């Protein structure tokens, strides 16, 4: 296979991969958002704990 046609094949592959990635993202959107929400809630919980800790320490120490 010569160079230019290999390059074309690569570009086709690249475009196909990009389309697959976008399609997968769209398909998985609802479950993905639920997963993201879980992580965000956990992270916010950690932040609230941290703020509580800072507040308590500032009062007590």
Partner 1 sequence: VLIVRPDWHDLRLIAFYVGRVVFGVGLLMLVPAVLALLLREWNAASSFAIGAGLAITIGRAAEIRLHSRDPLGWSHGMATVGFAWLVAPVLATVPLYLSGHYGGWIDAYFDGMSGLTATGQTLVQDVDHMAISVNVWRHLMHFAGGQGIIIVVLSLLAGGGGSQVGTMYFGEGRGDRIVPNVLHTARFIFTVAFVYAAIGITALWVIGMLIGLSVGRSLFHAVTLFATAFDTGGFAPMSASAAYYHAWSYEIVLILLMLAGAFSFAIHHRLWAGYRNELYRNTEVRTFALVLLGLAAVTTVGLITSGAMDGAETVFRKGFLTVISAQTTTGLVFENPRLFVSDWGVLAPAALVTGMAIGGMASSTAGGIKAMRLGLAAKGLWKDVRRVLMPESALVVQTYHAGRRRILHDEQIRGAVVILLLYLVAFLGGAMVMLTYGRWDLTEALFDSTAAASNGGMSVGVMTPEAPTPMKVVAVLQMWFGRLEFMSAFALIGYLLAIARGRT
User: In the complex, which residues of this chain contact partner 1 (CB under 8 A)?
Assistant: 3, 6-7, 10, 13-14, 17, 20-21, 24-25, 28-29, 31-36, 38-40, 42-44, 46-47, 49-51, 53-55, 57-59, 61
Closest CB 49 distance from partner 1, rounded Å: 6
Tell me the C-alpha distance between 4 and 2, whole Å: 6
Maximum pairwise Cα distance, the chain: 75
Closest CB 20 distance from partner 1, rounded Å: 7
Tell me the C-alpha distance between 8 and 4, whole Å: 6
């Amino acid at each position: 296979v010569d160079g230019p046609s290999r390059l074309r094949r690569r570009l086709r592959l690249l475009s196909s991969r990009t389309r697959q990635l976008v399609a997968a993202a769209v398909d998985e959107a609802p479950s993905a958002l639920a997963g993201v929400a879980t992580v965000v809630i956990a992270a916010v919980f950690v932040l609230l704990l941290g703020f509580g800790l800072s507040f308590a320490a500032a009062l007590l120490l």
